[in-house]
A and B are shown apart, each in its own frame.
Chain A
Amino acid sequence: MEWFLEARWSPYAAGIGIGVLSWLTFLLSDKPIGCSTAFARTSGMIEKIFRGEKVDLKPYYQQFKPVVDWEWMLVLGIVPGAFISAVLSSDFHWQWIPGAWAAAFGSVLWIRLLVALIGGVFLGLGSRWAGGCTSGHGISGTLQLALGSWLAAICFFIGGIGAAFLIYHVIGG
């Protein structure tokens, strides 16, 4: 069981684990692993608190109803899953500013949080625009050989590499 207590595995072991997990989700639940619709549904649930039932009538929420579903539970499960893994391997710690960010841009908290918030807005918007994320398209869609998922996944990295170079080498350079 010692391997279970290690903070990092070979990325290939982790990847094969995710691949086998996807066999099980297809077999037992008839579902591919994916994450981003859970955020859209949650956004709808929060909007319903303020604006009431009429939120359900929005065309997007008729397609993706603001309810708890399989994928929502999956995203919820990721938090304790990573937490248990981190705690058991003595890798859990509270951290506001990641090391690579601090090394390039310093330790001013509000700047990192503002950038994280803006990044989150793009991520939420972009994942729903593309109809999936790094899991839904990048892993589950590409492994099913879906053309749209391959195109989306390649664009995730083109956009991501472009933006990372801009942030770290132009703005931070």
Chain B
Amino acid sequence: MLTKLHEKNKLQLFFGFIAGLCFGLFLHKGGVTKYDVIIGQLLLKDFTVLKVMMSAVITGMVGIYAMKALGWVKLHPKPGSIGSSLLGGLLFGVGFATLGYCPGTVAGALGNGYLDAAVGIAGMLIGAGLYAAFFPKIKQSILSKGDFGDVTIPRLLKVNEWFVIIPLGILLFVLLKWIESKGL
């Protein structure tokens, strides 16, 4: 692990910015900075969003688990619970369809010149502020419901990681082939 590099705080902020430049470029080239593409996905007419996401997941999953096996990287799985992941996920979905961008693509949309994205960002800042205000009230009651922590699927199934990675990679690949065969 490049621990010394990770500790250089100012350099890391610069790396974050460079990673953002690349991410913004890929989001634009992928077409997902556009409302029409995102709403087309949610209306199940245009599967560009899932194509971008699934090919990123297959590539990222294989590379990151390979680097983990070499001891080059460590994982950072986020914790989850039914109250948080399911309810929060559904609320997010409503916002995703209503705004027509998500938190990353909304920044890309702004870079593309789409000004409704700027209003969306203002809304997101309000929403995040509301969440910060409500957080102490829902923390114990809702968010802790059905808590399963930061478990990963291989740990849950108690199997070697590659017994999940390889079948899942193939499954996502077959799903993409099927989407292509339907002309979506």
Query: Which residue of chain A has its CB nearest to the CB of B146?
Result: A151
Give chain B residues whose Cβ lies under 8 Å from the Cβ of A124.
Answer: 95, 123-131
Total interface residues in chain B, CB < 8 Å: 126
Q: Verify A82–B56 contact, CB threshold 8 A.
A: no
Main secondary structure of the interface of A (DSSP, over half): helix
Contact residues, A82-137 vs B (CB, 8 A): 82-86, 91-101, 112-113, 115-137
Shortest Cβ distance from A128 into B: residue: B131
- Contact B122 A136, beta carbon cutoff 8 Å: no
Q: Is the CB of A159 within 8 A of B89?
A: yes
Chain A residues near B87: list those with CB within 8 A. 129-130
Contact A125–B130 (Cβ < 8 Å):
yes
Establish whether residues B97 and A129, one from each chain, have CB atoms under 8 Å apart when the complex forms.
no
Could you mark each residue 13-49 of chain A with 1 if its beta carbon is under 8 Å from any beta carbon of chain B, else 0?
Answer: 1111111111111111111110110111011101100
Interface size on A, residues (CB 8 A): 126
Point out the residues of chain A lying under 8 angstroms from B25, CB to CB: 17, 81-82, 84-85
Instruction: List, in ascending order, chain A residues with CB within 8 A of B131's CB.
Output: 40, 60, 124-125, 128-129
B154 CB contacts on chain A under 8 angstroms: 145
The smallest beta-carbon distance between B137 and chain A, in angstroms, is 10
> Of B44, B78, B110, which is in contact with the most chain A CB atoms at under 10 Å from its CB?
B78
Q: Is the interface of B mostly helix, strand, loop or mixed?
A: helix
Q: Is the CB of B63 within 8 A of A19?
A: yes
Please tell me which one of the listed residues A19, A120, A151 contacts residue B55 in the complex, with CB atoms under 8 A apart.
A19
CB distance A82 to B109 under 8 Å? yes
**Interface pair A118/B24, CB less than 8 Å apart:** no
Residues of B within 8 A of A58 (CB): 132-133, 135-136
> B152–A131 contact, CB under 8 A?
no
Contact status B120-A145, CB under 8 Å: no
CB interface residues, A 65-86, toward B, < 8 Å: 68-86
**Chain A residues proximal to chain B, CB less than 8 Å:** 6-9, 11-33, 35-36, 38-40, 42-44, 46-47, 58-61, 68-86, 91-101, 112-113, 115-165, 167-168
Question: Mind listing 16 A-B residue pairs with CB under 8 Å?
Answer: A21-B26, A23-B67, A25-B15, A40-B128, A78-B108, A81-B20, A117-B122, A122-B95, A124-B129, A140-B76, A142-B61, A145-B168, A147-B156, A149-B85, A156-B89, A159-B92
Q: Which 5 A-B pairs have the closest CB atoms?
A: A148-B80, A159-B93, A77-B20, A120-B123, A81-B24
